[in-house]
Amino acid sequence: MNHYSGWKNALIASFLLLSALYALPNIYGSDLAIQISQAGDASISEQDLAKVETVLTSNAVDYKSIGLADNRILIRFEDSQSQLSTKTLLKTSLTRNYVVALNLAPSVPQWLSDLGGRAMSLGLDLRGGVHFLLEVDMEAVVAMSIDRYYNELRPLLREDRLYRSIRKEGNSLLVTFKSEESKQQGKRLIKDELLDLKIVEGSESELQLSLEITPAAIKVSKSSALQQNITTLRNRVNELGVAEPIIQQQGSERIVVQLPGVQDTARAKEILGAVATIEFRLVDEKNDPQLAVNSGKVPVGSKLYYFKSGRPLLLKSSVIATGENITGASSGIDQNNAPMVNIQLDNAGGRSMLETTKEFLNHRMAVVYIENKVETIVENGEMVKIRTKTQDVINAATIQGTFSNRFQVTGMESARAARNLALLLRAGSLSAPIEIIEERTIGPSLGADNIAKGFLSVLVGFALVLVFMAWRYRVFGLVANVALTLNLVTIVAVLSLIQATLTLPGIAGIVLTVGMAVDANVLIFERIKEELKSTRNIQKAISAGYEKALLTIADANITTLIASIVLFSFGTGAIKGFAITLSIGIITSMFTAIVVSRAIINLTYGGKDVEELAI
């Protein structure tokens, strides 16, 4: 009785040793570092490492170490001043093909790192940085879907000349047919070819049909727009050079973006929120744009645009290429020392550009910069979303030679505007406008202060529980304290292994777990006391105490675990952090309080003739 077999004790000891091993990386702290990676999907090579080392050596930079790992170069420093000055040096010395970012690199020994040991990932509130909550304009997604089906519907019905007119009315398409026969033929075509459009019941009148997008198709469009925006935001953040960013979906319309180490919120907002692309169009050389402005009549096949200065320009309706055809973009200075952007197109865009420049040599081609914005204002006590779309002509230059995939765009108002446009074009355009509805900035000193206070709260709570248990239950209390210590080590090990992000609410979850973890031991010890009153057999009292308290302990912990799972499922970032540590703490505390403490008690009292228990 009260005896574990050797293999059980060995298994428990092995688990605890592994927990201690994988919790160990967290005591080594982190080094101030700079990470260098290649823009896009390119790989970092030994030649890149040699180039960086040459820059550092030639400028007598004092650094701790430099190495190549995980497709990035990592340079470690002793102090923040060296880190910041070296970042500035590298950004000016290296080409735009490299992304230079500040980072905190764990100083885990190589032998431990080879075994998979990693320190816990710290959240924004502990590291410092910028937090944005972005909302995707889903009304714009639906409107763009209507435009897409409008463009698909016209050529579908035009082949047999079935319709008289097609117009948009809100989120519907109203089609007027030439005859009843063409109407029936059009209905069959729509049902066969455009499966995501449905005919609105009761809307048919004479020769008209009202069409709407099916709810399932709208749901898919919204989900696709959200995921595409997340992908684009990741690309933009990579271009900004932010180490270990967090970009994730929240609900069905929102995206959380956390940028550790970033303090320039204006620059981050400018890049993240921009919904920009460009279009290449031929200039209408035959008609006078000022005449079109004065008369209000735009020639057929042309559209009226304006330069930022307000000067009008007529452009052809057909688009040569758009931002979707762009595969690469970089900013620079042309021969006249003016800012410009080097553009690289995909095969389809390059083919279209080549055909156009061949046919319209010595004609003018314009570049149109298109940007969509959405902001919320208070109007008559209500929140109203204001959507704006700007379409500015950047330049209109004469085609002086044939070109296809590679060319330059000039006419930028500043070098900063050229850099921003190049970044946005490289990262891709957002599929729908987004609005920043929440913004928080946490300084690095505040993050360090949060870590210190969080650690102190865990330490104080832990110490008070240890003192109480030792005073109240004596030797058994000391056993419970050992189990509680091992529980804390196990929580840290699990968080490190799964790389769950530790936040300030997560620390609160650990503090709560420290207090709750001894509940199981309290129930067991009190049950042992009750059994000692009814029996003289101490071994039976210990066994009955553990066995009879087990069901109560399981019920209490399972109900708490269910609550924490619900918090994780429906909560936001801060609540999720609390729920993760609480869930892990509940599971590990049941193991240490029941299995580990029983093993220690068995080794202490099991199989021995004991006359009195120190409990």
Q: How far apart are CA 146 and CA 211, in angstroms?
A: 10
Cα distances from 91 to residues 99, 102, 240, 381, in angstroms, run 8, 12, 12, 48
**CB 351, CB 342: distance < 8 Å:** no
Q: Enumerate residue ranges in the chain where pLDDT < 50.
A: none
**CB 64, CB 77: distance < 8 Å:** yes
**CB 257, CB 178: distance < 8 Å:** no
Task: List, in order, residues 6 or more apart from 510 with CB less than 8 Å away.
Answer: 458, 488, 491, 581, 585
Task: List, in order, residues 6 or more apart from 64 with CB less than 8 Å away.
Answer: 31, 76, 77, 78
**CB 513, CB 585: distance < 8 Å:** yes
> How confident is the model at residue 440, as a pLDDT?
76
> How confident is the model at residue 17, as a pLDDT?
92
- SS percent in the chain: helix, strand, coil, step 5: 50, 25, 25
SS3 string of 406-461? EEEEECCCCHHHHHHHHHHHHHCCCCCCEEEEEEEEECHHHHHHHHHHHHHHHHHH
Q: What kind and span of H or E run contains 167?
A: strand 163-169
> How confident is the model at residue 279, as a pLDDT?
85
> How confident is the model at residue 435, as a pLDDT?
78
> How confident is the model at residue 262, as a pLDDT?
67
> How confident is the model at residue 206, as a pLDDT?
73
Residue 23 CB-density burial (10 A; 0-12 exposed, 13-18 middle, 19+ buried): buried
Q: How far apart are CA 300 and CA 298, in angstroms?
A: 6
Closest to 561 in 3D by CA, of 590, 589, 582, 591: 582
Domains observed in the chain? 6-24+443-605 (1.20.1640.10), 32-106 (3.30.70.260), 139-218 (3.30.1360), 275-414 (3.30.1360.200)
Counting every residue, how long is the chain? 615
Q: What is the pLDDT of residues 68-83, one digit of tens each?
A: 877 788 888 888 788 8
Q: How far apart are CA 556 and CA 552, in angstroms?
A: 6
Q: How far apart are CA 527 and CA 520, in angstroms?
A: 11
Closest to 78 in 3D by CA, of 91, 65, 88: 65
